[in-house]
Amino acid sequence: MMRRIELARGQRLEAGDIPRSGGIDAEVLNVAARIIDDVRARGDEALRDYTEQFDHAEIAVFAVSEEEMTEALDLVGDDFKEAISAAATAIEDFHRRQVPQSWFTVEEGGIFLGQKVTPIARVGIYVPGGRACYPSSVLMNAIPAFVAGVEEVAMVVPPGPDGKVNAFTLAAAAEAGVTEIYKVGGAQAIAALAIGTASIPRVDKITGPGNAYVTAAKKLVMGEVGIDMLAGPSEVLILADETAEPAFVAIDLMAQAEHDPKAATYLVTTDPGLPDEVDEALEILLEDSSRADVIRRSLTDNGVVIICPDATAAIDTANFVAPEHLEVMMAEPLELLGSIRNAGAIFLGPWTPESVGDYVAGPNHVLPTGGTARFSSPLSVDDFLKKSSVLSYSLEGLEMDGPTVMTIAQAEGLEAHARAVGLRLAMAYGLGDDDDEEA
């Protein structure tokens, strides 16, 4: 079912061996650009037109009302409320450990330096919706923002054809403390958050994954507002040896593949017999899957099995792929952790399926995709903060560092930079401006 590659000793995986799109389709970018321009020109009127066109819903008022929130909470069961509350608690506990502090120090000569950490004032979070339901995405975006100290969190989510937002999504928003919710999705929602309309005030940063048009819109508005990342299709890589349980490997591949036909799945193993055992397990498990068609298409189109000669080659392969999710089903997985450099989230051992990370463990499930784990990190409290450098010099401090500043500035040909120091020193000692270089 999944394409197979067998690496010889000393052979390395190449970029063309793994199924990745390599960027955003140009036509998708063009469509997103036209939508953004239209929202910029027509505001709410454009939002209503696109919501009717794409979501088949007529929206008079975009903001979700208190009555709609109450109705949603009445519709979801107590089991869900308890589950979402437990997940929210775990996510908050994990992210509170990430909060950085401002710091300041006094150097010799009365030089005061430091870093001031400040929450972003207003953030927009995108939650996929419409036919789908992603209450977990509400928690993963909103809770770190509130932990960071963001005062205003505006959530956008596509409505269903009935003009309503999924009740589970709204219940998650209530649990997270989000009260500003708008019934709009797609590239038009990103445009509204970035530009602002009569109904939706603009934000300073946008976070949250969406479809290709949402990602394209985020790319286009980046600079007008901040964004978290450009998320692509989801992916998992399972590192496995002869100790791995084939059924566990198979179900975890399925758990990723059921997201989307474009989801990417990788099995990297040192056991040549394991892929056949996994295939047998897949066939059995797929018999009872309601999403078998999507899973088969994903595994066939975007699934790769890579058989490696040893554990070192397997880990090198995993680091090359730099997957969004990396599961380690090998003997003594904790001992391998230090060798893993590139992964959005690392799941160690047979009893740690990706599912626990998606929902309740606490770490964020908004993760770098498409190999960007080589240089990117999961969504965190840091994404909702900004840092300012703080500097304060005494005259003594300027006397100490001033000559160095002037030397470098003059080498760069920036005369006023040098004189900004020299003039101060000259005036401090009663010298004229012409004497500032000698000061």
Percent of the chain at pLDDT above 70? 97
Among residues 144, 159, 165, the alpha carbon closest in space to that of 99 is found at: 144
- Which amino acid belongs to residue 367? L
The pLDDT value given to residue 18: 86
DSSP 16: G
Q: pLDDT tens digits, residue range 54-100?
A: 999 999 999 999 999 999 999 999 999 999 999 999 999 999 999 99
Q: Are strands 111-119 and 385-392 parallel, antiparallel or unpaired?
A: antiparallel
Is 156 in the same domain as 184? yes
- Look at the chain and report how many structural domains it folds into: 3
Q: Which residues contact 375 (CB under 8 A, 6 or more apart)?
A: none
The pLDDT value given to residue 433: 59
Q: Which residues form the domain of 128?
A: 26-231+382-387
- Which amino acid belongs to residue 277? E
> Is residue 430 over pLDDT 90?
no
The pLDDT value given to residue 1: 83
Is 12 in the same domain as 36? no
* Number of CB atoms found within 10 A of residue 389's CB: 8
Is 225 in the same domain as 167? yes
Looking up tokens 């500003």 gives: 180
CA 6 – CA 272 distance, rounded (Å): 9
Is 15 in the same domain as 33? no
Is 290 in the same domain as 401? no
> Is residue 432 over pLDDT 80?
no
Average pLDDT over residues 270-279: 97
* DSSP run (H or E) holding 264: strand 264-269
324 is catalytic: yes
CA 213 – CA 129 distance, rounded (Å): 14
The pLDDT value given to residue 238: 98
Residue 371 lies in a domain: no
Residue 366 lies in a domain: no
Residue 159 lies in a domain: yes
> Is residue 342 over pLDDT 90?
yes
CA 78 – CA 31 distance, rounded (Å): 42
- CA 64, distance to chain mean position in Å, is 25
Average pLDDT over residues 20-40: 91
Residue 78 lies in a domain: yes
Q: Which residues of 279-298 are buried (b: 16+ CB within 10 A; e: fewer)?
A: eebbeebbeebeebebbbbb
Partner residues linked to 3 by β-bridges: 304
The pLDDT value given to residue 439: 47
The pLDDT value given to residue 21: 64
Is 41 in the same domain as 129? yes
- Residue with the bigger pLDDT between 226 and 433: it is 226
Q: Which residues of 6-41 are buried (b: 16+ CB within 10 A; e: fewer)?
A: ebeeeeebeeeebbbeeebeeebbebbbebbebbee
Is 288 in the same domain as 156? no
Partner residues linked to 240 by β-bridges: 269, 329
Threshold 0.85, pTM exceeds:
yes
Residue 370 lies in a domain: no
325, 327, 354, 365: the catalytic one is: 325
The pLDDT value given to residue 24: 86
Is 134 in the same domain as 55? yes
175, 235, 324, 327: the catalytic one is: 324
Average pLDDT over residues 299-319: 96
Tokens of 36: 């953004």
Is 40 in the same domain as 184? yes
Is 88 in the same domain as 174? yes
Provide the CATH number for the domain around residue 164: 3.40.50.1980
> Is residue 408 over pLDDT 70?
yes
Residue 65 lies in a domain: yes
Q: pLDDT tens digits, residue range 225-255?
A: 999 999 888 999 999 999 999 999 999 999 9
Predicted confidence band of residue 15 (pLDDT cuts 50, 70, 90):
confident
Q: Which residues contact 164 (CB under 8 A, 6 or more apart)?
A: 68, 183
3-state secondary structure of 341: coil
Residue 376 lies in a domain: no
Residue 400 lies in a domain: yes
Q: What is the mean pLDDT of the chain?
A: 95
Is 320 in the same domain as 208? no
Is 276 in the same domain as 354? yes
DSSP 222: B
